Structure 1
Amino acid sequence: MKIANIAFASLLLVPAAFADDKKPMEGMPMDHKGMDMQMDQKAAGQTATATGTVKKVDKDKGTVTIAHGPVESLGWPSMTMGFKTQPDQMEDLKEGDKVEFEFTSKGMDSTITRIEKQ
């Protein structure tokens, strides 16, 4: 019985002996030409443009709350929501300003990339 156990254990070690064989596959090009390496748009985030009215500017949190119209490219209805922004984008904004803005939406995060008063 000991011999059978030793033989079985030896067979289990065989794949481990070949696991370190990391030679490149000879004759197989590794330049990735012709491979589509684009990230899925939903994973990368989508860019959209909208117009709306500034409802709140929160410089401490780095957000601007905007009541915006429908965003057809994302299938969004009109709504009021907060957007992350850079401090320099908030300098001249105040409640009630009419704006046109471009933003990137990824999951539940939306970040303004450009904003202009109308």
Structure 2
Amino acid sequence: MKMTLVAIVTAVAALSFNAYAEEMNMGGDSMQSMNMNRTMKEVTGAKAEGSIKAIDQEKHMVTIAHGAIPAIQWPAMTMGFTATPEQVMGLHTGDKVAFTFSTVGSTAKIESIDKMK
């Protein structure tokens, strides 16, 4: 009985780890295998909506989980954007926002951001 229970727990743990690893690898595709040309070209005025996950006033960064952005062929993801203190004033973790941003290389910068109602 004890051996059967240990075998079941081990099997469940192994399957859970595989599912988690597959989820973190986005179905087998790692971030390194993504078409990085999408993030390397300069983008201006891209529009998106998302939810604020974190605001770091010292680093002037706001982390946003945004939906897919078809105009620049980006999938939904959570990422950091540089922002001025004035841009994030009055915003809080969990707020739903609509924003525009630009990118240069791998740096994304908020151009405008508004709390959604």
TM range (shorter): 0.5 to 0.7
SS at 1:95's partner residue?
Answer: coil
**Correspondence 1:1-20 to 2 at 5 A:** none
Which structure 1 residue ranges, 4+ long, deviate > 4 Å from structure 2?
none
Deviation at 1:91, TM superposition (A): 1.1
CA distance in 2, matches of 1:55, 1:108: 20
Show the counterpart of 1:62: 60
Deviation at 1:46, TM superposition (A): 3.0
* Aligned equivalent of 2:91, options 72, 83, 93: 93
SS at 2:71's partner residue?
Answer: helix
* Aligned equivalent of 2:105, options 104, 107, 116: 107
CA distance in 1, matches of 2:94, 2:114: 13
Q: Identify the structure with the greater helix proportion.
A: 2
Show the counterpart of 2:80: 82
CA distance in 2, matches of 1:105, 1:70: 16
Preserved CA contact (<8 Å) 1:47 1:105: no
Identity of matched residues, %: 42
The unaligned stretches of length 5 or more in structure 1 are 1-41
Show the counterpart of 2:71: 73
Q: TM-score of the superposition, structure 2-length normalised?
A: 0.62
After superposition, give the CA deviation of every residue in 1:46-99 in whole Å (9 maximum; x if it has no partner). 320000000000000001000000011110000000000011011111100000
Preserved CA contact (<8 Å) 1:45 1:107: no
Structure having the higher Rg: 1
SS at 2:86's partner residue?
Answer: helix
The unaligned stretches of length 5 or more in structure 2 are 1-39
CA distance in 2, matches of 1:61, 1:91: 14
* Aligned equivalent of 1:47, options 45, 55, 71: 45
Q: Could you tell me which amino acid in structure 1 is paired with residue 79 of structure 2?
A: M
